[in-house]
Amino acid sequence: MKGRSVILDRLGDRLAAAMIVDGALDDLLIAPPEDVPVPGSIYRAVVDRPMKGQGGAILRLPEGRGYLKSAKGLAPGTALLVQVTGFGEPGKAVPVTDRVLFKSRYAIVTPGAPGLNVSRAIRDDERRDALLLLAHEAMGNSGDTGLILRSACAEAPDEVLAEDIIAMADLAAAITGETAGEPELLVDGPDPHTLAWREWPEPDSISTKDGGFAETGVDEMIAALRRPHVPLGAGGMYVEPTRALVAVDVNTGPDTSLAAGLKANIACARALPAQLRCRGLGGQIVLDLAPMAKKDRRGFEQVLRAAFRLDTVETILAGWTPLGCYELQRKRDRLPL
């Protein structure tokens, strides 16, 4: 099955969204439990205690605690707006930032960061000029509030863009004034269906009916994700999360040719971003690659960088270890499957 399909359904009692590209599961979004703060949620938080040795601060949230990096100069009892940036590990505070963003499919409003910008993915100069003019008209006198027009603006009607910009700007203006008071949830984070509309490219087909996962085979794909083995041609890789890190072991299988190791490692590099996204894995990731010559490492790195360049989750490609493994550091913005 060629093309891009989006299926909106439920997994158990939780909302879920799946994107299938050319017959393979490319992304999977599942709602977290109700008591877990959702990334993108905006809270009014209160500083509980500064962490002087770490330069951050523990904040009080309605549902528990948050951790804010680079929180110098904040006294206990100070109220401020923060936005959840990811999921905290069990027993740890939820990571938050004080750089609050208001994001939709077409626009990102940035309070405290003035300026009007257009995504670099839009290369048509005439379209970029038209979008900047539209942004000036929609934002008006925005003061210290900025705007970023996203790549989806390239094909969207101007009327839709103007409405979206004004709605985000009005929401930002209303929320940024809510800095006084006790901890409170001010804006809910996006659910999987909203996030799929906001972040995924325009699909060739969309299914919204109940039972769509079973009908399209997504249930079977999710069941495969619960197994560590990922078949890759003649060989395969094993993705196994532990408490400290995610271990990825690459095997050549029955292939005994001279290029078997390089072929298996390149297949791993191309498949890895989707596997990590769909499994919800982050943190430290160590690749125990199949044997290959040192001269082939540069080619492997090029394929790996190209694969992660299109990934939506922030990932740092740290490099090689003395034992020949390759390390990555990935943001924890999803819960493990």
Name the pLDDT band for 177 (thresholds 50, 70, 90).
confident
pLDDT in tens, 97-111: 999 999 999 999 999
Q: Quick one: tokens of 283?
A: 């943190």
Per cent of the chain over pLDDT 70 is 99
pLDDT in tens, 214-245: 999 999 999 999 999 999 887 899 999 999 99
> Residue 233's pLDDT is what?
81
Whether residue 175 is predicted with pLDDT greater than 70 in this model: the reply is yes
pLDDT in tens, 257-295: 888 999 999 999 999 999 999 999 999 999 999 999 999
Could you give the C-alpha distances from 272 to 92, 130, 239, in angstroms and in order? 27, 38, 9
Q: What value does the mean pLDDT of the chain take? A: 92
Whether residue 152 is predicted with pLDDT greater than 90 in this model: the reply is yes
Fold agreement between 42-100 and 227-330: no
Report H helices in the chain. 125-139, 158-176, 192-199, 212-216, 218-225, 260-279, 297-309
Q: What is the mean pLDDT of residues 45-70?
A: 87
CATH of domain 227-330: 3.40.630
Q: Quick one: tokens of 306?
A: 């190209």
Nearest to 286, CA basis, from 240, 230, 235, 246: 246
> Can you give the residue ranges of every domain in the chain?
4-31+193-216, 42-100, 102-179, 227-330
Let me know: does 90 contact 335? Beta carbons within 8 Å.
Answer: no
Whether residue 1 is predicted with pLDDT greater than 70 in this model: the reply is no
Whether residue 2 is predicted with pLDDT greater than 90 in this model: the reply is no
Name the pLDDT band for 55 (thresholds 50, 70, 90).
confident
Let me know: does 41 contact 187? Beta carbons within 8 Å.
Answer: yes
Give the range among 92-96, 267-271, 327-331 with minimum mean pLDDT. Answer: 92-96
> Residue 92's pLDDT is what?
84
Could you give the C-alpha distances from 315 to 37, 168, 292, 329, in angstroms and in order? 22, 28, 24, 6
Superfamily of domain 42-100: Nucleic acid-binding proteins (2.40.50.140)
Question: Whose structure tokens read 């085979």?
Answer: 217
